[in-house]
Amino acid sequence: MKEEGNRVAQTESLQAGKSLGKWDVIVVGGGTAGVCAAIASARHGARTLLVEQFGFLGGTQAGALVGPVAPNYLADGTPLTLGIGQEIWDRMAALGAAGKRREGRYGPREWPWFDHEMLKCVLDDMVTEAGVEVLFHTWLSAAEVKAGRIDHLAVENKSGRLALQAECYVDATGDADVAYRAGVPCESGRPSDGLNQPASLRFTLGNVDWERAARFLREQGLTHVELPTVSYAEGGGAKELESLIKKAIADGCVSAETMRYFQFFALDGRPGEVTFNCPELRLKDPCDAFELSRALVEGRRRIRELIRFCRKYLVGFENCYLVSIAPMLGVRSSRRIRGRVTLTAEDVLSGRKFPDAVARNNWPPDIHSPREGEGLVLEEKKMKLAPGDYCDIPYGCLVPEGVTNLLVAGRCISATFEAQAAIRISRVCQALGQAAGTAAALCAIGGYRTDELDGRIVHETLARDGLFA
């Protein structure tokens, strides 16, 4: 596990730039968690600013093409996440931009597809209706900390360097960028060697004859696989494709590393399109700018290999073309804060409950191997919760050490490497965002420090707001 340390914010010589006034709450990161945080904060009466590095909201779901939405349901169909996240998908479904929940071989499959582009529009509408102010194309530069509180954030955009101030801040960057710059101790990777899960650079192909493709895949023996999803991993998944993949590797069409993980989903609502959750890019640190840049170049090279493979070896893909490559990596793990409470794999797998629960989860630790050939970190028989059970995520996991007006939402909350692999799914991140935004508003308006606020009050407020079934 790579120790990021109790880093002092490098702001001594900071020229903060023009001040734009002061908000009650500033949310940094307009992704899966950040949008819900900003909406929740504004609905609770806080003047709220949402800062986003891209020109659209939606984060990995819109920018990294991450989908479909992983289910977060009990075996009897009871949803574990409602609230603002559910509002988003209900709006998408009403527009015909998301598939409705359906039963599958392995239980409920929630939102089996959604339109990544329409999601951007729906989120624009929802933050506008809530009264959230938005700054697009804005990058965080530094966090100025005074007496254990963030005094202001320095950001860069077309207007130059700006100083943004608030009573309370929410870090929804995914990589704990605000917390790290504010000196919060962080960890990254697994304890043994500091390696994170691989990222994926996703892409979409068009002009796929899915009827012919599905028939071909069934002829290969994929009768147990729930089409339109195909997932092959070295030594597992759609094993029936293994001989075909090995032939393609032997022919020099595609490299063995590129084919270690191969997964795609046909998009029911976008006929002829198939989206890919690959290639996987191992041994990359998503918080190292040079490694991130090399990963994107490598990913685009491997995508061309995958297109060659599909055209040559998969029936129905012969005339496919590249529709889009995600503008951002789909990062599974990076920095995690050290908080008042740290969620563990034991908490997840035992279904531990907390009185200050702000989110619920029954997705197992879903660990993609940091090194080739390792398989899963936890034994398969230990990977899942008991049927019908779930674990709670307590408020303390959102409260970082050392900074008293900051909350963290999304996959970078305080959790071990294995536990983070379970709670990183989008529905849980939406719940964590709503919780952080709600708590931030309560702190800003009520004058509380984030470590003073009783998490049971946050839980009760979220329950009244309809987050829990």
> 420-452, pLDDT tens digit by residue?
999 999 999 999 999 999 999 999 999 999 999
Of the ranges 25-29, 278-282, 297-301, 384-388, which one carries the lowest mean pLDDT score? 384-388
Q: Does 336 or 283 have the greater pLDDT score?
A: 336
Tokens of 27: 């949310």
Distance CA 373, CA 365 (A): 18
Mean pLDDT of 246-253: 96
Q: Band of the pLDDT at 3, cuts 50, 70, 90?
A: low
Mean pLDDT of 330-347: 97
- Enumerate the β-bridge partners of residue 265: 229, 275
Q: Band of the pLDDT at 370, cuts 50, 70, 90?
A: confident
pLDDT score for 297: 96
Q: Which residues in the chain are classed under CATH 3.50.50.60?
A: 21-191+332-463
Residue % of the chain over a pLDDT of 90: 77
Considering the segment(s) 21-191+332-463 as one domain, its CATH architecture is 3-Layer(bba) Sandwich (3.50)
pLDDT score for 369: 86
pLDDT score for 285: 86
Residue % of the chain over a pLDDT of 70: 90
Q: Does 375 or 41 have the greater pLDDT score?
A: 41
> 7-28, pLDDT tens digit by residue?
433 333 345 567 778 999 999 9
Q: Band of the pLDDT at 385, cuts 50, 70, 90?
A: confident
This prediction's pTM: 0.93
pLDDT score for 6: 44
* The pLDDT of residue 73 is above 90: no
